[in-house]
Structure 1
Amino acid sequence: MDRNRILILCDFDGTTCSNDMGNTIMNRFAEGWREIDRSYYTNVIGSRLAYLQIQPLFKGTKREMVDYALGEEKLDPYFLSFYASCREKGIDLKILSDGLDFYISSILQKHGLQEIEFYSNRVVFRDDATVSIEFPSPRNGCDLCGTCKSTILEAHREAYDLIIYVGDGYSDVCPCQKADLVFAKPILSEKCRKRGKACIAYENFRDVGEILDGILADTEDAAGSSPRRRR
């Protein structure tokens, strides 16, 4: 298998970033958002409508929110080494998020990862410390999610032989059905199980890297492209 044809798509909140920065930001700057969020988690509304309802609750400047995000973020402790390994092997990596662009870009830049392409919802900050939320990512006609991860995954399908998805939650359920290989934390793993989609449990990106290395090595052995001595 040509490793230049492998794409890894990573969720951000709870995945690339160990904590959920979207929730963290809304706890601080969007008082009252939890009631709307409950409707989202019980499937009454999708994330796109939830964001539109939460939007008027935001109060704060971009500087305030970025500074808060940079103080609270917890990048997965193994993501930097995992990404470096992907680059070394010629494996592409992109981030798909149903979160908000300003904290993703700020956190990536903080860690020297600004070159990573990411897709997310967009926040426009106004002079009166209010915001509007936009949804620039392409979609396939479904308006449930702010960022349609499935549409983005499918847009990359012809360019890659293998698409790997790494996620943790509700917004990852649909794209996981279309991925060739899935790494899932508990909530996503349970959703995959109920839908009959195979997935691999992981805790952090060290797990993902070690498991993926083994899978790729076995694939190369089977193809005869990289003989390995077995002990």
Structure 2
Amino acid sequence: MVMNKILILCDFDGTTCSNDMGNTIMNRFAKGWQEIDRSYCANIIGSRLAYLQIQPLFHGTETEMVKYALEHEKLDPHFGSFYENCRDKGIDLKIVSDGLDFYISSILTKHGLQEIEFYANRIDFQDDATVSIEFPSPRNGCDLCGTCKSTILDSHRESYDTIIYVGDSYSDVCPSQKADLVFAKPILSEKCRKRGKACIDYENFRNVSEYLSKMLETGESRKR
């Protein structure tokens, strides 16, 4: 595969961050959210509606939630070096998340990765320790997801020769169908294969880095 300009789109919860920070935050600050999440996982409702139903369950200040997120985050230990390697090779990397912006921004900053562009749902903290959730990412007529990752992928298609997607779960299914190469953890891997979409299983970003290095070497040799 000959590659020129490459974009890597990475999911955040369960991917860039090894644990699901959205679930972690809601377990602590949105009592009763799990029943709504079961409807989402069963494909009865989309994440956008799920967030709107969970929104009134949230109770906590921005300071409390950021502190909790930073105490409980588990960034993939290989992600930082993976990003640096991509940057050195001229490969663009962006994060696309159906999670919430405040913990993504806080975690990236904690690890010195605040320069990475990311897309996510926006949370607005109110003075009475309630929140409102907004969905600023562009979408092409579909309101199922809070962040329409497929629309984001499509918006970059003309600027890149190859788009690689790295994900793990339900919100990654649609964009993975449009990517040129997909790295998938078990839930996404199963969904891809049921839809006839080839994917590469991985555990962490060291696996992704090793595969991409070999692939780029092959591409460079073919150019010669």
TM-score by length of 1: 0.95
- Runs in 1 of length 4+ with deviation above 3 angstroms? none
- In the other structure, the counterpart of 1:29 is 29
CA distance in 2, matches of 1:171, 1:217: 31
| One-letter code aligned to 1:128 | D
Aligned-pair CA distance for 1:136: 0.2
- In the other structure, the counterpart of 2:15 is 15
Aligned-pair CA distance for 1:222: 1.8
- In the other structure, the counterpart of 1:75 is 75
| One-letter code aligned to 1:109 | T
Aligned ranges 1:182-193 → 2 under 5 Å: 182-193=182-193
- In the other structure, the counterpart of 1:228 is none
Instruction: Establish whether residue 159 from structure 1 lines up as the match of residue 159 from structure 2.
Output: yes
- In the other structure, the counterpart of 1:92 is 92
- In the other structure, the counterpart of 2:113 is 113
- In the other structure, the counterpart of 1:222 is 222
SS in 2 for 1:183: strand
- In the other structure, the counterpart of 2:194 is 194
Asked whether the equivalents of residues 3 and 162 of structure 2 are also in contact (C-alpha less than 8 Å), the reply is: no
- In the other structure, the counterpart of 1:227 is none
Aligned-pair CA distance for 1:2: 5.7
Larger radius of gyration: 1
Aligned-pair CA distance for 1:55: 0.1
Deviations 1:174-214 (A, max 9, x none): 00000000000010000000000000000000000000111
CA distance in 2, matches of 1:205, 1:155: 25
SS in 2 for 1:19: coil
Q: How many residues are matched?
A: 223
Instruction: Establish whether residue 50 from structure 1 lines up as the match of residue 50 from structure 2.
Output: yes
CA distance in 1, matches of 2:60, 2:218: 51
CA distance in 2, matches of 1:89, 1:216: 10
Instruction: Establish whether residue 177 from structure 1 lines up as the match of residue 177 from structure 2.
Output: yes
Aligned-pair CA distance for 1:221: 1.4
Aligned-pair CA distance for 1:223: 2.2
Instruction: Establish whether residue 147 from structure 1 lines up as the match of residue 147 from structure 2.
Output: yes
CA distance in 2, matches of 1:198, 1:219: 19
Structure 2: stretches of 5+ with no match in the other structure: none
Aligned-pair CA distance for 1:169: 0.3
TM-score by length of 2: 0.98
Identical positions, percent: 79
